[in-house]
Structure 1
Amino acid sequence: MQQLSPGGVSYGEWEHGTWNVQPWHQGDSLYDLWHPHRAEEGSSEPDLGEAFSCAEAVAALHTTGWAHGDIQPAHLIIGEKGTALIDLALAHGGDIPTAYDFRYRGCLVHYESPEISRSVLDDGTATPTMEADVYALGASLFISATGLRHVAYPDDASRKDQRQAIADGPHRPVNVPGVLGKVIEAMLSHDPADRPTSHEVCRELSGGR
């Protein structure tokens, strides 16, 4: 058994192929935790502290030189001991033995960035990046706060059509109030170079501290 940084991921091989084991974190997903804000009678704004904790978890991973590659609300677990970013199966950044280094063919499409969707459409594969992680975090915050995917397409759209809609843009209007809405708007910039870094997102959500 070997261990892969970050996150205490252990991996190895058995008779049926490869395996990996990751730590268990107790808590609620971002999407479940923010359910009250999506209710028709809901009026309170999502908690900036909870949004900050999610951004902080992503920034901590980025500090190690890794991109997650599959950020979505279900992978942001908020509990009594803080917020954990789980499921590092598609993480990219450090040295990975060839036997465990599988081609990245995108993630859950609802949270893909335009450049990832475009690359998968064109080449069938892509490379996870920190900029794409920021976009995915913005899309995760948006759907958790509003119940809407960041880009509109039919519920029965194929993955190809979903990716085409994301690659072509634009995203839905960000109708989340306050600081959070402004930050999400910046995170969903179509051009990766125009997005804030995960650390800049943390600063904005923490009031510049």
Structure 2
Amino acid sequence: MSGSIPELPIVVRDALMPSAQRLVTNRRGSTVWEVQSHRGKYAVKLGYPVEATADWPAQPWTALAPAREGAILYRLGFQDMAYGEWKHGTWNFQPWREGPDLYKLWEPCREQGSSITPQTGVALGCVEALAELHRAGWAHGDVQPAHFVVGPERTHLIDLALARGGNVPEGYDFPFRGCLVHYEAPEIARSVLATGEAEPTQEADIYALGASLLISATGWRAVEYPDDAPRSVQREAVASGQRRPVKVLGELGELIDAMLSPAPEDRPTTFEVAKALS
């Protein structure tokens, strides 16, 4: 698979009968397509294993991620989706979510000399999307700005492949080994450093939401470390619990500061954050 762009599996083409398709991402272990169908517009995800290189270990779990997400979506009650296997791994398709992600939407807030402040209503929409998942008994495990799609009617929280909270078919399951370090809670970083694995929690999701709101509003990560630092060095900085001060004005800044508490028990719940914002 190295260096090539996979085609949509026959079973996906037969189900959707695409009238148009656009490659959205093609990165290590994952390809995402936007597909227009007579049934509507869909996101199609293909997973395949990542081969080892001099810089990266092999990552077989990426082949299973689309089916794992598909199984979770099914358990959450989503109907207009499907998942299965193809010759290199697994796939899923699900309704396409229209709108910019949180980081893109708040770009004007980050411009030099900008007087534009982050919209509280947008932050509330992100909290409500996460709260919906938490009420269902799940933790997302990979909360980041790119996974909040701010649509015209509501905000959608996407990419549930790493979520924990219910039964997942054993053949599609794999351990949680952390996420994008910018948004990892200190307790997650410490566990990954100590054992190579961790357990996603709703409290860690709250930390990640605070870090997502902070970087989207200001451009600054919650924890300071060199951009080119190895991932282990990044995690050690996060695990220390030391972070930058939150420079977001008003009540939103106070809430972000609380969400980024190094102690999980000190972080507010999604209900408490939503109540404060509304």
Q: Is the TM-score greater than 0.5?
A: yes
Contact 1:7 1:22 in 2 (8 A): no
Higher RCO structure (Cα 8 Å, ≥6 apart): 1
Q: Tell me the equivalent position of 1:6.
A: 76
Q: How has the CA–CA distance of structure 1 residues 24 and 7 changed in structure 2, closer, same or farther, with 3 Å as cutoff?
A: farther
- More deviation in 15-24 or 49-58? 15-24
In the TM superposition, what is the alpha-carbon distance from 1:7 to its structure 2 partner?
6.6
The aligned residue for residue 93 of structure 2 is 21
SS at match of 1:125: coil
SS in structure 1 at match of 2:252: helix
Q: Deviation per CA, 1:3-31, whole angstroms, max 9, x where unpaired?
A: 62227364322333333333310101100
Once residues 201 and 179 of structure 2 are traced to their aligned partners in structure 1, the CA distance between those partners, rounded to angstroms, is: 12
Number of equivalences? 206
- The 3-state SS of whatever aligns with 1:201 is helix
Task: Check 1:7–1:176 CA distance in 2 against 1; reply closer, same or farther (3 A cut).
Answer: farther
Which runs of no fewer than 5 residues in structure 2 stay unpaired? 1-69
Moved more, 5-14 or 180-189: 5-14
Query: SS at 2:95's partner residue?
Result: coil
Structure 1 residue ranges (4+ consecutive) displaced by more than 4 angstroms after TM superposition? none
- Partner of 1:167 in structure 2? 239
- Counterpart amino acid of residue 154 in structure 1: P
Root mean square deviation of aligned Cα: 1.5
Tell me the CA shift for residue 59 of structure 1.
0.2
Amino acid aligned to 1:24 = W
Match of 1:46 among 87, 95, 118: 118
Following superposition, the deviation at residue 134 of structure 1 comes to 0.4
With over 3 angstroms needed to count, the CA separation of the structure-2 counterparts of 1:159 and 1:26, relative to structure 1, is same
* Pair 1:180-2:252 in alignment: yes
Instruction: Deviation per CA, 1:133-172: give whole Å up to 9, x if none.
Output: 0000000000000000100000111100000000002110
Q: Which of 87, 101, 121 is the equivalent residue of 2:193?
A: 121
Q: Which ranges in structure 1 are unaligned for 5 or more consecutive residues?
A: none
Summarize deviations over 1:96-115 as a string: whole Å, max 9, x none: 11011111111111100001
Aligned 1:77-156 pairs, distance under 5 A: 77-156=149-228
Shift of 1:74: 0.3
Equivalent residue number for residue 277 of structure 2: 205
Cα displacement (A) at 1:117: 0.6
Decide which structure has the larger Cα Rg and report it: 2
**Cross-structure match for 2:142:** 70
Q: Distance in 2 between matches of 1:16 and 1:36?
A: 41
Which amino acid counterpart does residue 157 of structure 1 have in structure 2?
Answer: A
How far apart, in 2, do the equivalents of 1:91 and 1:6 lie? 11
Q: 2:91 & 2:161 partners in 1: Cα distance? A: 10
- The secondary structure found in structure 2 opposite 1:21 is strand
Cα 1:34–1:7 shift into 2, 3 Å: farther
Return the alpha-carbon distance in structure 2 between the equivalents of residues 166 and 39 of structure 1. 26
Comparing 38-47 with 139-148, greater Cα deviation is found at 38-47
The AA in structure 1 aligned to 2:214 is F
Identical counterparts, % of pairs? 60
